[in-house]
Amino acid sequence: MKIKCIVSYDGTLFAGYQVQPKLRTVQGELEGALKKLHKGHEVKVAASGRTDAGVHAVGQVIHFETPLNIPADRWGVALNSLLPADITVIDVAAASDDFHARFDAVGKEYRYTVLRSAQRNPFVRNYAYYYPYSLDLALIEAAKTHLMGTHDFTSFCSAKSEVEDRVRELRSIEVHEDGDKLIFSFIGNGFLYNMVRILTGTLLSVGAGEIAPDEIPEILKKKNRIYAGKTAPAHGLYLWEVFYN
């Protein structure tokens, strides 16, 4: 049978989601736990997408095939007992045989957390990007409208990406303050490599007055990574939710 899980992880101590030889990865830990449950047999895990080193997930979605006849509500307990404390399986459900965590995803939400306190905070050093400089939120709101919708996001994609089709639909960008944090939420049908981090870095540059909101259409048109803002650091980024029909 096919099992779908929602998985939460603190990305701090991982070399990213995807398995890499000799490195500690989320996929590696998940497949290690499944291998133990399957008495040494390898079980391959498919995720909605990768996350980079240091990037967190609140609602990553994975699936795997298993011959074991464990009820859905027992899988979470079984897996969590074998997983390290920085990964938790939050929810488990039986999935249809043709379900695929990556190919069936119709959208994703990412969130990016910026800490704005006067002093840096030791407790969130791995969970928010510390940016105490002044920001004009009205400029960020104005820039958002130019980014939402369907665009070729090549300028907002790592130059290392080998993906050819860089057209994506950015359905919503929300920015809200939560105490001394500023939280950016991005919902779209799909995201390119480093796209959320470059969008956030660009919106911060807009808020700081370094890029004008009406330069955004020009930056999109250039289709060249060098025209957008900096790539905000990995540790402020959360894969928040993956959407399916």
Return residues touching a second copy (CB under 8 A): 8-10, 56, 76, 80, 85-90, 119-123, 125, 127
Contact between residue 81 and residue 91 where contact means Cβ atoms under 8 Å apart: no
Rounded least distance, CB 97 to a second copy, Å: 27
110 is in an annotated binding site: yes
Measured from the CB atom, is 44 or 120 closer to a second copy? 120
Rounded least distance, CB 2 to a second copy, Å: 22
CA 162 – CA 213 distance, rounded (Å): 28
- Which of the residues are catalytic? 52
Residue with tokens 């939050």: 90
CA 201 – CA 173 distance, rounded (Å): 14
Rounded least distance, CB 6 to a second copy, Å: 10
DSSP 8-state secondary structure symbol assigned to residue 77: H
CA 32 – CA 44 distance, rounded (Å): 10
Measured from the CB atom, is 112 or 227 closer to a second copy? 112
CA 54 – CA 236 distance, rounded (Å): 9
Measured from the CB atom, is 10 or 241 closer to a second copy? 10
Q: Which residues are annotated as a binding site for substrate?
A: 110
